[in-house]
């Protein structure tokens, strides 16, 4: 239309009215396109803000995280380490990693299946021998300086929701130049290779037997030897004892000079307290064994030892002296504990609620059982249970005297478990009504794709010393939609949306500039036509 009007205007001056009308239409079109271009620019600014300042999880926190919600930068990780927030520095030091080592670390990306699927990550919660259809090879890690010990280390690939997951990590070296990784998304420590349990220290060697008292008259022989005697003081009879009948000299013993040397009471008294009425060379003159019940044998006898509290026939220092077969040494009493756990749905009258589906408002009773299979009592034993995953969908009804801390771990007062005794504790919770629709936790900026998580997955998962209880919950429309959008819909991340946005902005900008240019050219034609009178 533009070319047609301009080409015919010199031959038909009356077309100037159509040129004016077309110019007005182009000005209106340019105004509309200007508004569209401004809106597109604002949309692009919102998209860029979403890319450079990505969303972070605020509602959901995984109880397995070493640092709740993770950290966004290396400087933040160093600050958390230096303040020992959530025992972060204590846990790192267990692996030989210092805060200076964290500051010297480098940012990298790793796959969960790197090192031939030999990466193991540390977490606060146990997940059992299998999880997500994969073997975890879970190992308990005791960190004595941390109040939340023990921790648990398992395959990093156990949490994969697909073939593998990619993590942004801080690569650090410890004081022995061993490489570790700290995940940005949760602060969990990753190492190459399965952790090994420390070897128990060998038992101390038994004390050497006491050296018998030497004869005071003849060197290199014991005092109890028959050849150990005081010689007769009479000249020519030095080779016979002073108490011999052939030695007629007065009794040489101090305080007994008034007796004949042959008198039965003329003897050197036994130096042991309580045995002064027998000769010093008597076989009954010995230091008694100091062990209770063995005072009638010498302290140098092979039978003079402190008996094992579990077997009187072996010494306390023997490697066989231990409370049970599972123990490593005499003090390893905790190895004799046998753990069990079960759950019941009181509302639905289900005695074994594992792998069943509970409803909103149901009462769930967890029963924890600890049995002492050893021969020794275990004093001041504290039962603990982490309820972080359960309390996402339930409220506490009764803890049977236990106390719940801010980290959602319930602990009961210390008690003594006698041999063969069972310690039973119960936890009653009530499923929330209505059920929360909190989304799954996932730090989009550091993990791709979102890994498998036990938090807010409509399953109340609880593991107690290797025994895992899973109680399912009914899904709502919101959670079903969340599952579809995170597992079925295609990935339309910020990269693709930016490309589409820039392309759309370029197209809108082009048509806006074109409308302005055509309107300006028509204004020039009208001005020149009026000034020249159509000539």
Of the listed ranges 44-53, 105-114, 376-385, 387-396, the least confidently predicted one is 44-53
**Helix, strand, coil percent values for the chain (each to nearest 5):** 25, 25, 50
DSSP 449: S
Instruction: Please tell me the distance from the alpha carbon of residue 318 to that of residue 203, in angstroms, as a whole number.
Output: 8
Categorize the per-residue pLDDT at 481 as very low, low, confident or very high, splitting at 50, 70 and 90.
low
Q: How confident is the model at residue 197 (pLDDT cuts 50, 70, 90)?
A: low
Burial degree of 77 (CB within 10 A; 0-12, 13-18, 19+): buried
What pLDDT, on a 0 to 100 scale, did the predictor assign at position 443?
41
Task: Give the 3-state secondary structure of 127-156.
Answer: CCCEECCEECCCEEECCCCCCCCCEEEEEH
Tell me what pLDDT residue 248 has: 64
Per-residue model confidence (pLDDT) at position 79 = 95
The total number of residues shown for the chain amounts to 535
User: How would you write 375-390 as a 3-class SS string?
Assistant: CCCEEEECCEEECCCH
Query: Residue 202's pLDDT is what?
Result: 72
Banded model confidence at residue 350, pLDDT cuts 50, 70, 90: very high
Angle between helices 16-52 and 494-532 (to 10 degrees): 160
Per-residue HEC secondary structure of 215-282 comes to: CCCCCCCECCCCCCCCECCCCCCCCCECCCCCCCCECCCCCCCCCECCCCCCCCECCCCCCCCCECCC
- Higher-pLDDT residue of 435 and 58 is 435
Q: How far apart are CA 226 and CA 46, in angstroms?
A: 107
Do 56 and 76 form a contact (C-beta atoms < 8 A)?
Answer: no
Which DSSP state fits 14? Answer: G
CA distance linking residue 3 with residue 219, whole number of Å: 137
Whether pLDDT at 363 is above 90: yes
C-alpha torsion 254→255→257→259, nearest 10: -120
Q: Domain 334-475: which CATH class?
A: mainly beta
Across 76-85, average pLDDT: 94
Least confident of 77-91, 265-279, 316-330: 265-279
What is the average per-residue pLDDT within 282-292? 76
Closest CA to 397 of 423, 362, 371: 362
β-partners of residue 460 are 471
**pLDDT per residue as tens digits for the range 367-386:** 999 999 988 899 999 999 99
DSSP label of 87: G
Residue of 187, 66, 184, 77 lying closest to 124 (CA atoms): 66
Mean pLDDT of 447-453: 62
State the pLDDT at residue 400: 93
The confidence score (pLDDT) of residue 494 equals 63
Within 321-396, residue ranges assigned H as helices are none
Burial of 247 (0-12, 13-18, 19+ CB in 10 A): buried
Considering the chain, what percentage of its residues have pLDDT values greater than 70?
A: 83
Residue 124 has pLDDT above 80, yes or no: yes
Question: Is it the case that residue 261 has pLDDT exceeding 90?
Answer: no
Query: Once rounded to an integer, what is the mean pLDDT over residues 354-373?
Result: 94
Domain layout of the chain by residue ranges: 1-52+499-532, 74-192, 334-475
- Per the CB < 8 A criterion, the answer to whether 94 and 143 are in contact is yes
Task: Give the percent of the chain with pLDDT over 90.
Answer: 30
Residue 246 has pLDDT above 70, yes or no: no
Q: What is the distance between the alpha carbons of residues 470 and 461, in angstroms, rounded to a whole number?
A: 5
CA–CA dist 383, 360 (Å, integer): 29
Asked if residue 359 lies in contact with residue 349, where contact means CB atoms within 8 angstroms, the answer is no
> What one-character-per-residue DSSP string does 497-509 give?
HHHHHHHHHHHHH
Residue 419: φ, ψ to 5°: -60, 135
Q: How far is CA 188 from the centre of its chain?
A: 8
Contact by Cβ (8 Å): 1, 23? no
* Mean pLDDT for the chain overall: 81
Confidence at residue 444, expressed as pLDDT on a 0 to 100 scale = 42
Does the model's pTM come out above 0.85? no
Q: Give the pLDDT confidence score for residue 110 in this predicted structure.
A: 94
Cα 375 to chain centroid, rounded: 31
Given a cut of 50, whether residue 445 has pLDDT beyond it is no
DSSP-derived 3-state class of residue 191:
strand
User: How far is the C-alpha of 34 from the C-alpha of 113, rounded, in Å?
Assistant: 52
């Amino acid at each position: 239309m533009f070319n047609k009007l301009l080409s015919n205007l010199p031959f038909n001056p009356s077309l100037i009215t159509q040129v004016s009308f077309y110019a007005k239409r182009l000005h209106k079109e340019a105004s509309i396109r200007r508004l569209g271009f401004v809106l597109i620019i604002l949309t692009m600014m919102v998209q860029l803000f979403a890319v450079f300042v990505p969303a972070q999880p605020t509602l959901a926190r995984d109880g397995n995280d070493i640092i709740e919600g993770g950290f966004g930068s290396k400087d933040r990780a160093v600050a958390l380490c230096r303040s020992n927030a959530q025992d972060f520095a204590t846990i790192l030091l267990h692996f030989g990693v210092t805060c200076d080592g964290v500051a010297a670390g480098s940012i990298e990306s790793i796959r969960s299946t790197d090192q031939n699927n030999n990466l193991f990550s540390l977490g606060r919660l146990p997940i059992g021998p299998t999880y997500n259809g994969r073997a975890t090879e879970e190992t308990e890690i005791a960190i004595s300086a941390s109040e939340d010990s023990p921790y648990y280390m398992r395959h990093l690939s156990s949490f994969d929701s697909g073939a593998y997951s990619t993590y942004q990590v801080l690569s650090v070296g410890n004081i022995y130049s061993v490489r570790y990784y700290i995940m940005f998304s949760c602060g969990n420590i990753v190492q190459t290779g399965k952790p090994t349990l420390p070897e128990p220290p060998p038992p101390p060697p038994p004390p050497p037997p006491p050296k018998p008292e030497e004869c005071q008259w003849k060197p290199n022989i014991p005092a109890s030897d028959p050849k150990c005697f005081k010689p007769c003081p009479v000249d020519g009879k030095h080779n016979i004892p002073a108490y011999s009948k052939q030695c007629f000299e007065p009794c040489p013993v101090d305080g007994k000079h008034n007796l004949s040397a042959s008198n039965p009471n003329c003897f050197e008294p036994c130096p042991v307290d309580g045995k002064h009425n027998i000769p010093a060379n008597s076989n009954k003159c010995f230091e008694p064994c100091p062990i209770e019940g063995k005072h009638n044998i010498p302290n140098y006898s092979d039978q003079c030892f402190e008996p094992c509290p579990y077997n009187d026939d072996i010494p306390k220092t023997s490697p066989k002296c231990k409370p049970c077969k599972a123990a490593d040494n005499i003090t390893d009493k905790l190895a004799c504990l046998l753990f069990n756990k079960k759950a019941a749905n009181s509302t639905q009258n289900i005695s074994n609620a594992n792998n069943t589906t509970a409803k909103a408002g149901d009462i769930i009773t967890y029963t924890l059982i600890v049995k002492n299979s050893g021969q020794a009592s275990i004093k001041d034993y504290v039962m603990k249970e982490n309820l972080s995953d359960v309390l996402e969908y339930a409220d506490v009804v009764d803890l049977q005297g236990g106390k719940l801390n801010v980290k959602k771990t319930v602990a009961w007062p210390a008690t003594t478990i006698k041999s063969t005794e069972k310690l039973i504790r119960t936890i009653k919770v009530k499923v929330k009504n209505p059920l929360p629709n909190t989304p799954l936790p996932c730090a989009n900026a550091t993990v791709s794709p979102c890994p498998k998580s036990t938090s807010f997955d409509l399953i109340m998962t609880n593991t107690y010393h290797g025994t895992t209880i899973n109680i399912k919950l009914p899904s709502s429309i919101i959670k079903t939609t969340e599952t579809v959008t995170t597992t079925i819909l295609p990935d339309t991340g910020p990269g693709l949306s930016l490309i589409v946005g820039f392309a759309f902005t370029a197209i809108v900008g082009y048509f806006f500039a074109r409308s302005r240019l055509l309107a300006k050219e028509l204004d020039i034609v009208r001005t020149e036509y009026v000034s020249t009178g159509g000539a």
